[in-house]
Amino acid sequence: MPNYDALREDGTDNGDKSLVILQSLLCLLREKNLLSRADIEDLCERVETRARESASGPFPCCPTSASAAASEMAKIGTFIGNYYGGKHRRM
């Protein structure tokens, strides 16, 4: 697949690209009120749970990467919550 090879050859880490896309997408969805603050808090909790169960969960992954993802998601959630506001989820 020539298109896939072109994506790999630009020298930029694909994880960095994915993170920028994820951050932008979450902000856009929140801006358009398609995601609430509570939805983002739920997403943060799910990522954190996946990090805790990284070795034994339904989709095993690297514990270090999962922990880093949970940390990054918490930062994104905090930023979006502070920037856009909204109601916290009910416990």
Which tens digit of pLDDT belongs to each residue from 28-86?
Answer: 999 999 999 999 999 999 999 999 998 887 788 888 989 999 999 999 999 998 998 87
pLDDT above 60 for 1 = no
pLDDT above 80 for 12 = no
Confidence band for 4, pLDDT divided at 50, 70 and 90:
low
Q: What is the pLDDT of residue 62?
A: 87
Is residue 76 within 8 A of residue 23, CB to CB? The reply is yes
Q: What is the pLDDT of residue 3?
A: 60
Single pTM value for the model: 0.74
Q: How far apart are CA 62 and CA 75, in angstroms?
A: 20
Alpha-carbon distance values, 79 to 12, 16, 23, 43, 53 (Å): 25, 18, 10, 14, 25
